[in-house]
């Protein structure tokens, strides 16, 4: 974890701010040279509020050569959150049953993920292009912008946005897939945080972009989740989400039947089971898939070139989540309109779902509880 992250995080209680108690800090290389102070409010490296002249770019360059591997974050009330293996883990308290289950489900899914492989059959170049289409921007406009990747999953796209678009990325996820991502990451401007999108431990009005693909549909109430997140966006910041189509939108009759059958299996068989039992089921299906693939290959029947890990990941994604809500385009566009978002539009359509976006107006935060940063720490 970089000290820089502390300027972007806030306690879930939304009072005061977090300061770091480092226990193990490693020196890392930093190839860049910063010419401006990156933080706006709080310099965790010097443990002071940013005031004119208090922090210099030299401090920032020094800050980026330090990686906090183990330690704690403490809020002003004394409540602490651990930093384990470089990742802050920020939850308000005991996790609800549904969060625990979601965490287990998606952690299994990302455990199967091999870095460099495709996600949902899409390679990373395809995903980057889809991201640009989703946000309705070109690559050049993204440089140095802060994006929150809410429910970042494997973290591969988060890292790619930093590497290829020059963005600063705060990648938040409930599951442990981000641990693998953290180990692979070499970009100093990607910050991984373990936490929930339902209580994002992120400051108000910090993000230029908010990207939340395929996440809200796995919450108990998609719309409620949708409404929690925008407070972290700056005014005019852009908010993209991706959700599933309703099942009866599957165009081919075979798909419709298949999806109805899959839903029945998920609701009645797989999803209620403990995750270890599910693992055995998906493993068995994966073995059958591989056998079928090999036989079809011999007779040149199939073009399905998914690896067994990709297939297993697909099984987990389809059959394990407790919630897998589906929404119409009208419904989603209305959510944006209700919050007063501007330039609301559908970004793209896919077979299983669609993306939508809108820009945050100034008054949105008026209806959402804001954090107030009351600390008056002084430098030096
Ligand atoms: C289908 S994956 C999508 C991942 C990624 N956005 C992508 O497009 O590849 C859903 C992700 O949402 C995460 N997730 C589910 N519930 C969450 C929550 N309450 N808070 C944060 N992340 C959550 C899961 O851990 C999982 O990584």
Q: Render each residue's pLDDT in the chain as its tens digit; 380 residues.
A: 999 999 999 998 888 889 999 999 999 999 999 999 999 999 999 999 998 889 999 999 999 999 999 999 999 889 999 999 999 999 988 778 889 899 999 998 888 888 777 877 788 999 999 999 999 999 999 999 999 999 999 999 999 999 999 999 999 999 999 999 999 999 999 999 999 999 999 999 999 999 999 999 999 999 999 999 999 999 999 999 999 999 887 667 778 888 999 999 999 999 999 999 999 999 999 999 989 888 888 887 767 778 888 899 999 999 999 999 999 999 999 999 999 999 999 999 998 899 999 999 986 554 544 444 434 455 55
Q: Which atom of ligand 1 is nearest to the CA of 321?
A: 15
User: Hey, whose CA ends up nearest to atom 20 of ligand 1?
Assistant: 196
Residue 225 Cβ contacting ligand 1 at under 6 Å: no
213 lines ligand 1 (CB under 6 A): yes
- DSSP, residue by residue, 58-124: HHHHHHTTEEEEEEEEE-TTS-EEEEETTEEEE-SSSPPHHHHHHHHHHHHHHHSPPTTS-BTTB-H
CA 9, 10, 16, 21 torsion: positive or negative? Answer: negative
Whole-number Cα distances in Å, 197 to 15, 224, 376? 18, 11, 28
Distance CA 218, CA 126 (A): 24
CA dist., res. 83 & res. 100, Å (int): 19
Of the residues 302, 319, 336, the one at which a domain ends = 319
Strand partners, 9: 202
- Phi first, then psi: give them for residue 234, nearest 5 degrees: -70, 165
29 in any annotated domain: yes
**Ligand 1: residue whose CA is nearest its atom 13:** 151
Q: Is 134 in the pocket of ligand 1 (CB under 6 A)?
A: no
Taking the C-alpha atoms of residue 2 and residue 9, their distance in angstroms, rounded to an integer, is: 12
Residue 172 and residue 197 in contact, taking contact as beta carbons nearer than 8 Å: yes
Q: Are 9 and 204 in contact (CB under 8 A)?
A: no
Query: Would 372 be classed as within a structural domain?
Result: no
Specify if 300 maps to a domain: yes
In-domain check, residue 301: yes
Q: Is 117 a domain residue?
A: no
Beta strands in 225-378 (DSSP E): 233-244, 342-349, 353-359
Residue with tokens 């949708």: 226
Neighbours of 252 (CB within 10 A): 9
- Separation between Cα atoms, residue 109 and residue 200, nearest integer Å: 22
| CATH number of the domain where residue 68 is located | 2.20.25.10
CB atoms within 10 A of CB 1: 27
Atom of ligand 1 nearest to the CA of 197: 20
**Domain encompassing residue 295:** 248-319
Measured in angstroms, how far is the CA atom of residue 301 from the centroid of ligand 1? 35
Residue 164 resides in a domain: no
Domain count along the chain: 2
CA 300 to ligand 1 center in whole angstroms: 36
Best residue among 174, 316, 326 to mutate for probing ligand 1, ranked by most atoms within 8 Å of CB: 174
Q: How far away, in angstroms, is 152 Cα from ligand 1 center?
A: 6
6 assigned to some structural domain:
yes
pLDDT in tens, 325-340: 999 999 999 999 999 9
Q: How do strand 146-150 and strand 207-213 relate by DSSP bridges?
A: parallel
Report which DSSP code applies to 245.
P
Domain end (from 90, 125, 143): 90
Q: Check pocket membership of 6 for ligand 1, CB cut-off 6 A.
A: no
Which of 319, 346, 362 is the C-terminal boundary of a domain? Answer: 319
């Amino acid at each position: 974890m970089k000290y820089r992250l502390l300027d972007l995080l806030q306690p879930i209680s939304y009072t005061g701010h977090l300061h770091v108690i480092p226990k193990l800090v490693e020196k890392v290389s930093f190839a860049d040279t910063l010419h401006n102070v990156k933080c706006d409010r709080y310099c965790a490296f010097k443990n002071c509020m940013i005031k004119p002249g208090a922090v210099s770019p030299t401090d920032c360059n020094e800050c980026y050569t330090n990686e906090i591997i183990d330690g704690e974050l403490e809020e002003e009330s004394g409540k602490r959150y651990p930093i384990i293996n470089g990742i802050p883990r920020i939850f308000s308290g005991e996790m609800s049953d549904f969060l625990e289950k979601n965490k287990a489900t998606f952690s299994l899914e990302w455990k199967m993920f091999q870095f460099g492989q495709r996600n949902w059959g899409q390679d990373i170049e395809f995903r980057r292009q889809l991201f640009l289409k989703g946000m309705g921007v070109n690559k050049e406009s993204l440089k140095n912008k802060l994006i929150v990747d809410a429910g970042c999953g494997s973290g591969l796209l988060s890292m790619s946005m930093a590497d290829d678009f020059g963005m600063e990325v705060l990648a938040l996820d409930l599951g442990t897939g981000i641990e693998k991502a953290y180990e692979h990451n070499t970009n100093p401007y990607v910050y991984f945080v373990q936490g929930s999108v339902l209580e994002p431990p992120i400051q108000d009005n910090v993000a230029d972009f908010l990207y939340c693909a395929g996440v809200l549909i796995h919450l108990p109430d998609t719309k409620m989740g949708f409404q929690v997140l925008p407070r972290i966006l700056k005014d005019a910041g852009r908010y993209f989400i991706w959700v599933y189509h309703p099942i009866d939108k599957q165009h081919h009759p075979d798909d419709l039947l298949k999806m109805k059958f899959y839903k029945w299996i998920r609701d009645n068989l797989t999803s209620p089971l403990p995750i270890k039992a599910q693992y055995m089921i998906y493993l068995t299906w994966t073995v059958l898939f591989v056998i079928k693939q090999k036989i079809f290959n011999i007779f040149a029947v199939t073009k399905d070139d998914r690896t067994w890990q990709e297939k297993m990941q697909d099984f987990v994604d389809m059959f394990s989540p407790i919630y897998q809500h589906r929404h119409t385009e009208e419904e989603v566009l209305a959510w944006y309109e209700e919050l007063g978002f501007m330039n609301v539009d559908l970004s793209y359509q896919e077979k299983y779902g669609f993306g939508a976006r809108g820009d945050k107006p100034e008054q949105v935060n008026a209806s959402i509880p804001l954090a107030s940063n009351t600390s008056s720490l002084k430098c030096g």
